[in-house]
Chains A and B, each alone.
Chain A
Amino acid sequence: MCAKAARGGEGTSPSKYGKELLAGFYRTMTTIRHFEQTVEKCFLEGEIPGFVHLYIGEEAVAAGVMANLRDSDYIQSTHRGHGHAIAKGADLKRMMAEIFGKSTGSCKGKGGSMHIADFGVGMLGANGVVGGGFTIATGAALAHKMQGTDGVAVAFFGDGASNRGTFHEAANMAAAWGLPVIFVCENNKWASTTPYRTTTSVDHIADRAAGYGMPGVVVDGNDVFAVYEGARSLVERARRGEGPALLECKTYRIKGHFVGDPEKYRTKEEVRKVFEETDPIPRFESAVVKARALTRKELDAIDGEAREAVRLALEFARTSPEPEESALFEGLYV
């Protein structure tokens, strides 16, 4: 069966965008990349405990979607949440400190990587439970509607999460009530060790949107322009009160499911090939340089700043104190 979902955002030329937006895309993507590479290294060296799921290779999704959002818009993230938090404007130092389990972390060291959150910028939390975010994002959108704002909420989710009942319940409720929520699927082809098509009934998750009476759009999730354009029309629609939508971003999980995953279910060769061909960052670089929208030098400057910001975040995390034991009993009730 062919896709009923619309295709969005192809063949967009970078030259039609202002420098500021382009620089923003690049800053977000490179910051996420450096942040994640740093986290990976620190985890492997034993500095970071717990479970860590990396966003490497999927940066264009967070960067493209979030460029359409304001601080007052909400997002609900997943276990793979660092990229969403960074793109939404979460403080890098407090994020890194949280991942290190320090008292200066955004959750005071109580959450860690799987529970990264920064409510001050509308980042309502990563979630350790797959599919935990759909209904919460729907509720945040309901609040926007009840409060009479034109704000929206975005629920990020994986292809695997689309098989949770919560996806279907939230999609129906959002559509029935015309709520301003955009369900953004990051279809990275894998749900943990399982290839997505072996446990999922459709080729395109966006096809499921039709069953709930909302638009479903498929974009190349490794093309930040395609993601940006796809999300833009759906966010604008939601702001106008025209209800929810589903955006499916086709991407690929470059790293193991979690740091330390032996990855016995696929070959290194397969992964290397996909990464070489589709890595969103070099794709963006060559597109903007070719269109003379940004110069190599400008890109290098942004990349250098991102690297430095991550270095400072790491230093902050490393030098921050661990929580006092007494903090265990703090913050259970207000």
Chain B
Amino acid sequence: MSTITFAQATLDAMTEEMARDERVFVMGEDIARQGGIFGQFKGLADRFGTGRVMDTPISETAIVGACIGSALAGMRPVADMHFADFIGVCFDEVLNQMAKIYYMFGGQKSIPMVLRAPDGLVNQAAAQHSQSLEAFFLHIPGLKVVAPSNPADAKGLLKSAIRDDNPVIYFEHKALFSTKGEVPDGDHLVPIGRANVVRKGSDVTLVSYSMTMNHCVKAAEILAGEGIDVELIDLRTISPLDVGTILESVARTTRLVIAHEAVKQGGVGAELAAIVAEEAIDCLDAPIVRVGAPFTPVPFARPLERAYRVTPEKIAEAVRSVM
């Protein structure tokens, strides 16, 4: 085990996978010279050269399109989106090309590619630099979507994503980059599609992912002090969802709360709640409750952004409401 930052964990994953397979390369804005705006690519160009770590023009459409094309021709590209918000620029490439090609062309060629997308709230960056957009991609068949919450999963999921033969969107929360955690040494892989029960509990199942997991850990501690025993599940993969782990947990606890930073309306929580309602409504002793952002763009001003955020207190309150 070594204790490293989330950013370093992603860098280790990139370094190991690029050393392991010379078809792996990465392109994006400000990654070669600068080492990424969050330091997550530092030194990668020194090690592998600017032929495999490429600074691009501000051309997200061409970045994603060219990665798809190179994948069709035998490469295994990683594209950096700078901020997840800018996926809006290349949405056609993601929606109609990257996600469709394998199925639509009868399985002739898969797209082994990773789209790295730093997302989430940080430093009052306002409406166009703060969003959590994973729910859009949960709705697109053909994509895999992951969202790690800690350095170990960051490394393991990125390595798995690079090795996966399907297109994977890798959401990495900007506020997580500087956080530290223990990462297993060696070739550490976390399987895509598998949730992680991070805290066993008997009273209520609390499901989350990415940055909001940290808030859930705090909420669970607060609630433990009140005698509420929370089972905490880190989804880690948003698509395909690990339905089995959640149903198994809910069958025991009979209560479900889902928390995420993204807008509540139409979010990942809505899909999970629907699945549990369809599959296991008889197990439930209380309504399913979702915690998410209000239905507004992310506001700039301090008190507004504060009110917008999902916090440990809001999560704890939601859990109390189902007890």
Contacts and interface: CB of A to CB of B under 8 A. Distances in A.
A50 B304 contact: no
B124 A161 contact: no
Q: Sorted from nearest, which 4 A-B pairs have the closest CB atoms?
A: A128-B128, A109-B301, A112-B300, A163-B57
Interface in A296-334: 322-325, 327-329, 332
Interface stretch (B29-37, B106-114, B190-198, B199-207): B29-37
A201 B123 CA distance: 35
A198 interface: yes
Contacts, number: 123
Contacts of A200: 57
Nearest to B299: A110
A262 to B, nearest CB: 9
Given A102-B301, A323-B303, A50 B123 contact: yes
A128 B129 contact: yes
Given A164-B58, A164-B89, A325-B307, A49 B124 contact: yes
Contacts of B126: 50, 110-112, 114-115, 128
A51 B296 CA distance: 20
Given A164-B59, A323-B301, A328 B296 contact: yes
A295 interface: no
Specify which of B29, B34, B89, B126 lies most central, judged by the most chain A CB atoms within 10 Å of its CB: B126
Nearest to A163: B57
B300 A110 contact: yes
Contacts of A322: 301-303
Given A51-B123, A324-B303, A332-B296, A129 B85 contact: yes
Given A112-B124, A114-B126, A199 B296 contact: no
Given A115-B128, A129-B86, A332-B295, A192 B303 contact: no
Interface string B122-145: 011111110000000000000000
B308 interface: yes
A196 B60 CA distance: 17
Interface in B91-130: 123-129
B57 A109 contact: no
B69 interface: no
B30 to A, nearest CB: 5
Given A111-B127, A191-B58, 15 more contacts: A49-B300, A51-B125, A109-B300, A109-B304, A110-B299, A129-B86, A130-B58, A164-B60, A164-B89, A194-B29, A199-B58, A322-B301, A322-B302, A324-B303, A329-B296
Contacts of B57: 160, 163, 191, 199-200
Contacts of B43: none
A192 B299 contact: no
Contacts of B86: 129
A327 B305 CA distance: 11
B30 A110 contact: no
Nearest to B55: A194
Contacts of B302: 49, 101, 322
Contacts of B55: 194, 198-199
